[in-house]
């Protein structure tokens, strides 16, 4: 028995070492590369500015600044849970709008999100111009998901618009950052950003073209337009699938455009002309006064910017009449904007009625509300 003891000790030591090793990845050097998705969609520029001296020499930068334009889309570099998103239903703190996404011992930081009204530098944009819909403390986000918009809040008001992107890893213990002016555990994101771009882990720009895989009200609008223009017979479900692509190609062919199944500016302009000839308005114009209670033809869902229109108002009115309330306990606001309260009411309603619970007011949910 005793002669086995050293062997047992070795085995136990190995097991113990394995147990304390971080599960995800182990970084030991501030310049190590971790696998992330590039957090900014569209044109941008950045450099290795981790070592730059800030605060009059009191601290180092320890992040990467990614420069772009105000309102540019910011996407999650990695999946996790939102552990910081200040300024929702409270004033914006002096340090600005920030998102932190926590996963294990790693925290991804996104600083200086937009605090201005569109097209201004008024500092009065509120959190809806900073955070994507659904972003709040506790929300789960997946890698590549839209989380917010680039801006200049906090101590970036007098600098060019940029995202200050940081990666904090509790397991990182590089001797170089063990002492002041360094703050411990901050990885240099630069190499990981370069690697993400080289590997093509880059979010697609959310503005402009629609193609297979896209979803949302802009797709539903396009489907409705195709139905009007070429009698495509598509479901206006907001999901750009093979049928929508085929109909788009057919329309492009009829119009003498490049036939690629992608809805860019040329296809949109052609659609506007075609609908004009037919005496119709494109569906992306705010819906007019739909007096009937039939399904309006577009799914109502939480988007950014929020869906707005008489159809939203009609649904809210109906829900309020039926006693549905917002998160604050007051009757659901009938304001024509499909916001978080509307989404919440839709979900609870769907749950009660045994419908698919997705918070989206499609034909079935609409019909049930007006039944």
Q: Which residues contact Zn ion (rule: CB under 5 A)?
A: 63, 65, 164
Q: Which CB atom, from 48 or from 281, has the smaller least distance to Zn ion?
A: 48
Name the strand (E) or helix (H) holding 73.
strand 73-75
Strands 59-60 and 140-141: unpaired
**What is the C-alpha to C-alpha distance for residues 289 and 40, in angstroms, rounded to an integer?**
38
DSSP secondary structure letters along 136-164 = STT-EE-TT-EEEEB---GGGTTS-SEEE
Distance of closest approach, residue 189 Cβ to Zn ion, in angstroms: 10
20/94 with CB nearer Zn ion: 94
**Closest-approach residue to Zn ion (CB):** 164
Output the smallest distance, CB 153 to Zn ion, in A.
Answer: 13
Instruction: Give 65 or 225: the residue with its C-beta nearer to Zn ion.
Output: 65
* Minimum CB distance to Zn ion, residue 31 (Å): 17
Minimum Å distance from CB 168 to Zn ion?
14
In the complex with Zn ion, the residue whose CB is nearer, 63 or 262, is 63
Distances (CA, A) of 233 to 227, 229, 283, 363: 5, 10, 15, 15
Query: Shortest Cβ distance from residue 82 to Zn ion (Å)?
Result: 20
> What value, to the nearest 5°, has the Cα angle with vertex 257 and ends 256 and 260?
130
Measured between alpha carbons, how far is residue 180 from residues 57, 107, 109 in Å? 11, 21, 21
Residue 65 or 221 with smaller CB distance to Zn ion: 65
Shortest distance, position 185 Cβ to Zn ion, whole Å: 17
Residue 328 is given by DSSP the state: T
The residue among 149 and 366 lying less far from Zn ion, judged by its C-beta, is 149
Q: Which residues contact 286 (CB under 8 A, 6 or more apart)?
A: 308, 309, 310
Q: Are 48 and 64 within 8 A, CB to CB?
A: yes
CB of 40 to Zn ion, least distance (A): 13
> Do the Cβ atoms of 24 and 108 come closer than 8 Å?
no
Instruction: Provide, rounded to whole angstroms, the least separation between the CB of residue 295 and Zn ion.
Output: 48
CB 333 within 8 A of CB 341: yes
- What are 357's two structure tokens? 């619970």
For residue 181, cis peptide bond before it (omega within 30 degrees of 0): yes
């Amino acid at each position: 028995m005793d002669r086995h003891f050293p062997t047992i000790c070795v085995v136990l030591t190995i097991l113990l070492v394995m147990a304390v090793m971080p599960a995800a990845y182990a970084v030991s050097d501030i310049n190590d590369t971790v696998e992330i998705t590039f957090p900014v969609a569209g044109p941008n520029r950045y450099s290795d500015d981790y070592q730059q001296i800030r605060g009059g020499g009191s601290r180092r930068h320890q992040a990467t600044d990614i420069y772009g334009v105000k309102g540019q889309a910011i996407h999650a570099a990695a999946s996790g849970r939102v552990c910081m998103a200040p300024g929702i239903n409270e004033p914006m703190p002096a340090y600005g709008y920030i998102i932190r996404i926590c996963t294990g011992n790693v925290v991804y930081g996104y600083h200086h999100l937009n605090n201005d009204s569109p097209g201004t530098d008024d500092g009065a944009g509120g959190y809806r111009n900073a955070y994507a819909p659904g972003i709040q403390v506790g929300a789960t986000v997946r890698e590549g998901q839209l989380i917010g918009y680039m801006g200049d809040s906090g101590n970036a008001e007098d600098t060019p618009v940029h995202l200050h992107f940081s990666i904090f890893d509790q397991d990182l213990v590089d001797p170089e950052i063990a002492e002041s002016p360094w703050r411990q555990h901050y990885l240099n994101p630069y190499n990981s950003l370069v690697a993400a771009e080289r590997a093509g882990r880059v979010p697609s720009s959310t503005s402009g073209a629609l193609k297979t895989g896209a979803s949302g009200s802009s797709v539903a609008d396009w489907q409705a337009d195709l139905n009007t223009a070429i009698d495509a017979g598509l479901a206006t479900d907001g999901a750009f699938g093979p049928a929508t692509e085929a109909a788009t190609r057919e329309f492009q062919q009829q119009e003498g455009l490049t036939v690629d199944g992608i809805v860019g500016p040329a296809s949109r302009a052609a659609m506007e002309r075609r609908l004009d000839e037919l005496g119709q308005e494109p569906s992306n114009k705010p819906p007019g006064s739909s007096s009937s209670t039939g399904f309006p033809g577009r799914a109502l869902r939480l988007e950014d910017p929020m869906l707005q229109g008489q159809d939203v108002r009609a649904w809210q009115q109906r829900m309020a009449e039926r006693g549905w309330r917002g998160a604050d306990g007051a009757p659901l606001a009938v304001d024509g904007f499909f916001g978080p309260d509307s989404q919440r009411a839709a979900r609870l309603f769907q749950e009660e009625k045994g419908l698919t619970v997705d918070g989206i007011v499609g034909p079935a949910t609409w019909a049930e509300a007006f039944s």
